[in-house]
Amino acid sequence: MKATKLLEQQHRKVKATFAQIESTKVDPTSLVRELANELAAHMAIEQQLFYPTVREIKPDLVDESYEEHSVAELALKRLLRTSPQDVAFKARVVVLKELIEHHVEEEESELFPAVEKALGDAKLEALGTKMAKQFEDAKKQGFDALVPSGFAKTSADEFEQLVQR
């Protein structure tokens, strides 16, 4: 599967998980953890494989994407530390969802079309194969292993520094 299609497929799964969290009448804690694990694995493959490969095509947008990942990680950390009974829970879900929706819209409308045009199907297929395998490995590790603890540093900070060296 092409890298861009794989990422779009993951975007749809995250969107569906947000819908489940917002509509559930039972404790959404396990859904929030699932969302965190999915997003952490998704961001990991983008930061480690996709963005370094496509950075020269749209450097400003890729740089912005790293920053959006940092903000999303911080929002996820706050959400994971919030009880579903807390009055802030719903607001934190909404803010994270809006951050992710904005990020997805930019990727799918601006970055992916440019990448598909520049790289072509064969390169995107090869990249997609690597990304799919790494995604499964990252998902098994989970959010806590993929994302630095605390609020001072995010995984996007680490990978963005590697790319800029």
Q: pTM for the complete prediction?
A: 0.90
What integer best gives the mean pLDDT of the chain? 93
pLDDT tens for residues 16-62? 999 999 998 889 999 999 999 999 999 999 999 999 999 999 999 99
* Residue spans per domain, the chain: 3-153
In this prediction, residue 159 carries a pLDDT of 58
Q: How many CB atoms lie within 10 A of CB 36?
A: 22
* Residue 25 C-alpha from the chain's centroid: 26
80-84, 113-117, 124-128, 153-157 — which is least confidently predicted?
153-157
In this prediction, residue 151 carries a pLDDT of 65
